[in-house]
Amino acid sequence: MRRIVLFLSFFAVFSGYLYASEYLEVTPYTIIKIPEVFYYQDNYRVQWWYFTGQLYDLKGREFGYQLTFFAVDVQKRKYKSRFGVNKLYISHFAITDVVNKRYYYFEKIDSGIYGFSGAMNNKLLVWVGEDRLEGDYKGFRIKARGKDVEIDLNLKPKKQLVLNGLGGYSRKSEDSPLYASIYFSYTNLETEGFLKLYNSAVNVRGKSWFDRELSTRSLSPSQKGWDWFSIRLNNGCEIMIYLLRKQDGTLDRYSSGTIVYKDGKYKHLTLNDFRIRTLSFYKSKKTNAIYPAEWIVEIPFEKLYLRIKPLVKEQEFIAYASTNNYYWEGLCEVKGGVDGRAYVELTGY
């Protein structure tokens, strides 16, 4: 959340299976093993590998990108035929062209029957068609292609791995501690490679953010969606915050976040540690959804007062063919005592 993708409401179509006993629950006692947890894990219902970033070409033109890989277990039934579907593999790929105010997005879905998609459980390798993630916990290579759009990027972490929540256990609901995910991140990845838009291929450099999440449960019945912020400040700090919105319009008290300092040390944030205020809204021409469109983010104990605003208004991802939903996810500018960039994801609107 991937993000996103963050929880399982993307896959509400599978809700009849979500609590099957053959899948592991995420609990405060779940052991996270490195590097194995980077690989595909067969015992969780849904998992994803999620990348966003800001890229610049040699002329200083700015681009944003999102690339998410989902692996969804539909069921564990054993079939005699190879055509029985147990898993679905999905990729979401988007590029934001800041200068030209353009947004491109592409979705792919495949069952893996013929090997066109898959994920390995003994190494980091995930692919959906030509979209591909490989590497290890020391670095990644990601590739994705849509109509007239392509990226091929190498990413190297510049800070230690961040275990969000309590040691990687990220509770997501007041209703039960089992509404939770394993959630960890690299918040600062040096990035270089190439970006192709139509017939123009350019070398790019920049910064990326990586999230990995695994879970078995969806959002709780009392919840509607979430607002997720990944903020990178020019002073070397990064901030992740998610707001879990309930059906009655209030926030779940397990809305939380993480602040990562310049030296790589990090701190868990509770809902009491930050305040987020929406300044304006935007109505989608594609779905008529009304999304927040500008925010004030305050973290008083850090004396941070940040204004966040999309660099391109139209960054809505329509995913009816894969995850059967739509969401807004886009590159934003950050202004305040410290400037920077952010990616924001909005679901359930």
Residue 20 lies in a domain: yes
| Model confidence at 135: pLDDT above 70 | yes
Is residue 307 one of the residues assigned to a domain?
yes
3-state SS, one letter per residue, for the chain: CCECECCCHHHHHHHHHCCCCCCCCCCCCCCCCCCHHHCCCCCCCEEEEEEEEEEEECCCCEEEEEEEEEEEECCCCCCCCCCCCCEEEEEEEEEEECCCCEEEEEEEEECCCCCCEEECCCCEEEEECCEEEEEECCEEEEEEEECCEEEEEEEEECCCCEECCECCEEECCCCCCCCEEEEEEEEEEEEEEEEEECCEEEEEEEEEEEEEEEECCCCCCCEEEEEEEEEEECCCCEEEEEEEEECCCCECCCCEEEEECCCCCEEEECHHHCEEEEEEEEECCCCCCEEEEEEEEEEHHHCEEEEEEECCCCCEEEECCCCCEEEEEEEEEEEECCCEEEEEEECCC
The structure's pTM equals 0.93
Does 272 score more than 70 pLDDT? yes
Write out pLDDT tens, residues 197-230: 988 999 999 999 999 999 998 888 999 999 999 9
**Structural domain range at position 24:** 9-346
Q: What is the mean pLDDT of residues 233-252?
A: 97
Evaluate if residue 1 carries a pLDDT over 50. Answer: no
In this prediction, residue 337 has a pLDDT band, given cuts at 50, 70 and 90, of confident
Task: Answer whether residue 160 shows pLDDT above 70.
Answer: yes
63 belongs to a structural domain: yes
Assess whether pLDDT exceeds 50 at residue 3.
Answer: no
pLDDT value, residue 83: 66
Cα–Cα dist 238/232, whole Å: 4
pLDDT given for residue 243 in this prediction: 97
Q: pLDDT at residue 106 above 60? A: yes
Q: Band of the pLDDT at 6, cuts 50, 70, 90?
A: very low
Q: How many domains does the chain have?
A: 1
User: What integer pLDDT is reported at residue 125 of this predicted model?
Assistant: 98
In-domain check, residue 1 = no
Domain harbouring 148, CATH code: 2.40.370.10
pLDDT level of residue 5 (50, 70, 90 thresholds): very low
Average pLDDT over residues 19-48: 90
Degrees, nearest 5: CA angle 198-211-154: 45
Does any domain span residue 4? no
- Whether the ω angle into residue 300 lies within 30 degrees of 0, i.e. cis, is no
What pLDDT sits at residue 78?
72
In a domain, 2, yes or no: no
Residue 121 lies in a domain: yes
Q: Is the backbone peptide bond immediately before 3 cis, with ω within 30 degrees of 0?
A: yes
The answer to whether residue 145 sits within a structural domain is yes
Give CA separation, 64 vs 55, 140, 227, 273, 301, in Å.
6, 18, 19, 29, 30
Average pLDDT (161-172) is 97
Chain segment 305-327, per-residue pLDDT in tens: 999 999 999 999 999 999 999 99
